[in-house]
Copies of this chain bind each other. A is one copy, B any other.
Amino acid sequence: MKKIHIIGLGLLGGSFALALKKVFPDWEITGFDNDPEHMAMALEMGLISRKLEVPQEDTDAVILATPVDTLLGLLEKTLEQVGPNTLVMDFGSTKGQLCRQMATHPKRNQYLAVHPIAGTENSGPGAAAGNLFDGKVLIICEMEKTDIHLKGLAYDIFEAVNMKLRFMDPGDHDLHLAFVSHLSHVSSFVLGKTVLDKTKDEKNIFDMAGSGFASTVRLAKSSPAMWAPIFLENKENVLEAMDSYIEHLSQFRSMIAEGNVDGLNHEMLEANKIRDILDIKE
């Protein structure tokens, strides 16, 4: 029997609690969320067995699943509260800044930096699903800095919930994520805002939107409280990705303006190659 404590009982934290309960029914899963409504809902849904404001000293692992701008403070506080045999992990979507800030922390070897590539556009405990992590990739950064026994427990847990482990440098992680995740959130938020601004007084225009629009704009439903901190923590890479996107858009715009059919066809045929990549993933 292990004791696991989860701080932040939203989509990720709540889903992870459900996944753990399924594979380890006898483990004790406690938790905390500083939004009283989410806290009450998490208890009511049975995501955790008990609310604890401070993790027990002999907790085996504490998971931090809160917005990235809260993680450093929470990590430092949690490492103070727990004993020497407790592992603390964060589920944050950016890893570079936190790993740098933790580099010289006296309890660095009790911390493991991970990022589960799992989520939906929904948030809060009500969006939690026990299969959210099933078959998904988990990125682990700087694993060599974590105590061998503590990271062993982490690997066992993630393999038990059927995640695929990948190891990566935090800087590479943040750069790549800017392109394959943060940029698509930007493009979707801004597409939603652009179209809403244009159609402000005539909402029935959305009658004319098909399933393609809904798919492209889906991420515009995502939580600002989660995403503003990600864009700012990963500012340098996100700006690089956005600049490249805006540059590509300007080129595409010129081709339309000039009636450059060959250029447009070439760009779109190149973009079509995304099909092979996504189909392999599916």
Report A's interface with B, CB cutoff 8 A.
117-121, 136-137, 139, 166, 173, 176-177, 179-181, 183-199, 203, 205-222, 224-225, 227-228, 231-232, 235, 238-239, 241-246, 248-250, 252-253, 256-257, 259, 261, 264-265, 267-275, 277-278, 281-282
**Which residue on chain B has the smallest CB distance to residue A265?**
B224
The distance from the CB of A279 to the nearest CB of chain B, in whole angstroms, is 9
A191 touches B180 (CB 8 A): no
The oligomer's copy count stands at 2
**Which residue on chain B has the smallest CB distance to residue A242?**
B253
A137 touches B180 (CB 8 A): no
The distance from the CB of A263 to the nearest CB of chain B, in whole angstroms, is 9
Main secondary structure of the interface of A (DSSP, over half): helix
CA distance A252 to B227 in the complex (A): 13
CA distance A219 to B198 in the complex (A): 22
The distance from the CB of A223 to the nearest CB of chain B, in whole angstroms, is 8
B180 touches A184 (CB 8 A): no
CA distance A248 to B232 in the complex (A): 18
Provide the residues of chain B in CB contact with A214, threshold 8 Å. Answer: 278, 281-282
CA distance A275 to B189 in the complex (A): 11
Provide the residues of chain B in CB contact with A196, threshold 8 Å. Answer: 270-271, 273-274
The distance from the CB of A81 to the nearest CB of chain B, in whole angstroms, is 28
